[in-house]
Amino acid sequence: MTNWIPQYITNGITESSNSQTLMKDLPKNEQVGMLMLELRKTNSATIYNTRSIMDEITKIEIIADGSKVIASAQPEVLSYLAFVAQGGEVPDHRFFKGGAAVQRLHLPIWFGRYPWDEEYLLDTGQYSTVQVWITYALDTAYSASGSFQHTITYWRPLTKLPVKGFIRSREIKVEVPSAAAQTIRHDLPVTYPWHLVGARIHDVDQDINTNLTGIELNIDSGRLLLVDTDADEIYYENMRKFRPAHGYVNQPVVIGAETDVQTFGEWAFPRGAVTVSGNRLPVLTGLAGETVDITVYVADTGVAATDAIPIALDMPSSMPHKCMLIGDFRKWPFPIGNYKEAWIDYVMAAYTITLRTFVQEVVAEKL
């Protein structure tokens, strides 16, 4: 059993640009078990309860030799994949909503089948170059100009290990379908064995089982159906695997009468909301999708408060970011290379959503 050593790639670097694809080299001839991204930005004076630093990062990628995709997804999907890899432990995200507060996204990207896997990790010596690309665009209505900051750290084994391969993480298809009842098909890759298959059904004010009525994971035109069920059953299976559902994030927000607050968790049943000042009582008056409605009352009169009161909101969820695990092959990789084709059929209700299908694949040695 080896020890793991952290080393900086960047340390607290602030970018003057509000919009770019930031590119940083990973070390050559190194073995990387995990890449930790710590990304920060400072809020402007404006408070926006339904936005976070994640909304301003379009995509995070790890690219070898200029075009070989080792990882590629939006931060919400990568955060969920870390949540799954860590057995239901959510990454450290600190989304402080107050004016001039700092929001911080800690995002680990694991290259093994599980944390600190000594057989599967990224060997940068197999490529001429390996880079991390971070595409972001600060919305200066809600973010201070020139406040994007990054610290990037890689974790390597103390001594070189005999590497078998690595886990590749990527979004396969992103689609914004029309708001109509329909079946949407996303084709899946069939080259490398599957580690897991999942989806993000993003609609902040509707539950997944409202957006989605059926899911079918189809291999070779029905020769093998790995999944054929509804969203409720997928949710219950996710909840079984990742219990107890952890409080995803504490959100100090400023709130008056009934206000929508984004919690970043699907079916995020409330753990609690407390005021941090004043004679006030917060009440959760609505819950759907990632959104919670909160009304703050004056405790001794029972009437809704008219002033803005800071609160701290803590919500648990087994499905952070409205992501769900559809096919779980973490113990035994699914040999999709033995088949010709595969797809997921999503039976959708008439709502406007963003639908993302993602996979993790077991890559032997290198791409």
Does residue 212 carry a pLDDT above 70?
yes
The pLDDT of residue 51: 76
Residue 265 bridge partners (DSSP):
320
The verdict on 11 and 65 lying in the same domain is: yes
Q: Which residue has the higher pLDDT, 307 or 358?
A: 358
**pLDDT tens digit sequence for 326-356:** 999 999 999 999 999 999 999 999 998 999 9
Q: Which 8-state DSSP code applies to residue 54?
A: G
* Residue 116 burial (C-beta neighbours within 10 Å; 0-12, 13-18, 19+): middle
The verdict on 200 and 76 lying in the same domain is: no
Does residue 315 carry a pLDDT above 80?
no
Question: What span, in angstroms and rounded, lies between the C-alpha atoms of 59 and 21?
Answer: 9
One-letter amino acid of 148: F
Candidates 261, 253, 260, 264; CA nearest to 320 is 264
Whole-structure pTM value: 0.93
Q: What domain range includes position 157? A: 4-163
Dihedral angle of Cα 144, 59, 196, 320, to the nearest 10 degrees: 20
Q: Are 37 and 138 in contact (CB under 8 A)?
A: no
Question: What span, in angstroms and rounded, lies between the C-alpha atoms of 27 and 156?
Answer: 10
The mean predicted confidence, pLDDT, of the chain is: 90
The verdict on 239 and 250 lying in the same domain is: no
The verdict on 157 and 178 lying in the same domain is: no
Query: Can you tell me the mean pLDDT for 174-181?
Result: 92
The verdict on 47 and 28 lying in the same domain is: yes
**pLDDT tens digit sequence for 227-267:** 999 888 988 888 888 875 555 555 666 777 777 777 777 76
Question: What span, in angstroms and rounded, lies between the C-alpha atoms of 24 and 321?
Answer: 27
CATH number assigned to the domain comprising residue 142: 2.70.9.20
The verdict on 337 and 224 lying in the same domain is: yes
Residue 96 bridge partners (DSSP):
none
Total domains in the fold of the chain = 3
Q: Which residue has the tokens 């990304």?
A: 39
**pLDDT tens digit sequence for 191-211:** 999 999 999 999 877 888 888
